[in-house]
Amino acid sequence: MDIFSLHGKIALITGSTAGLGKAIAKGLGLAHSTVILNGRSSIEKLNQVIEEFRSDGISTFGTLCDVTNEKQVEEMVESIEKDIGPIDILINNAGINIRGELQSISVEKFKENIDTNLLGPFIVSKIVGKKMISRRKGKIINICSMMSELGRNSVGAYASSKGGIKMLTKNMATEWAKYNIQVNGIGPGYFATDLTASLREKDNPFNDFIINRTPAGRWGNPEELVGSAIFLSSNASDFVNGHILYVDGGILATIGKPSNED
């Protein structure tokens, strides 16, 4: 069924030279969209991933841009639309997680989480969204988190930013659905990426906690987000607006179980 087809689509994925963003971008590329990768500062890393994707037969371009810098975002979007084509799909993935208890994290570090994870997606969506509104067509996916719904010691800044992007998603959907733009979110649970490497070390009790707390009994693999991204990027989701699709192994469905229960 071609309702899931991404043939001929152009997809910009921010923060896509590593982790979940890279896995999602590769999945969209293997589904035959043209992929525009984005990193913040390392041209070497960006070019390395572009080459990797092209060696897999994916139509790939790349651009360096700090999503919190409005001028850089405007220049990035203008050059993409002039040199490559209209952006059909925007995935706001760029994000950081500077951990720290609320009484110890600095105001600057708290603000850095909010700027990158919430202000950045607002800036990019405002600029790309204006183009989509003029075309009366577009797909925007904001990468939220299970932390859009739950807190955890030491990730208060991150969770605040992810709660914010959940509501930004709903408000963008509210204002832009009438222009045939579908804005939705994907909320990952705990996935095996560099961001969570320290949490997954075998002598870290947090690893056992997550495995016990997640009904699927394991960490997610980044490739397991691709199906949701394709769905929300394709015509199959043309009447889906403001929805946060949690891909979390069931962790948000349950209060968990005692460690001595199967």
Task: Mark whether 179 is an active-site residue.
Answer: no
Interaction pattern, residues 88-117, with ligand GCO; x per rule: CB under 6 A: ---------x-x------------------
DSSP string, the chain: -GGG--TT-EEEETT-SSHHHHHHHHHHHHTT-EEEEEESS-HHHHHHHHHHHHHTT--EEEEE--TT-HHHHHHHHHHHHHHT----EEEE---------TTTS-HHHHHHHHIIIIIHHHHHHHHHHHHHHHHT-EEEEEE--GGGT---TT-HHHHHHHHHHHHHHHHHHHHHGGGTEEEEEEEE-SB-SGGGGGGG-TT-HHHHHHHHHSTT-SPBPGGGGHHHHHHHHSGGGTT--S-EEEESTTGGG-----TT--
Binding-site size, ligand GCO (CB under 6 A): 13
Task: Pick the closer one to ligand GCO by CB: 127 or 155.
Answer: 155
| Given 96, 98, 195, 211, the residue binding ligand GCO (CB under 6 A) | 195
Interaction pattern, residues 39-78, with ligand GCO; x per rule: CB under 6 A: ----------------------------------------
Q: How far is the CB of 98 from ligand GCO (least distance, A)?
A: 10
* Residues at the interface with ligand GCO (CB under 6 A): 97, 99, 145-147, 152, 155, 158, 188-190, 195-196
Give the residue numbers annotated as catalytic, written as ranges: 158
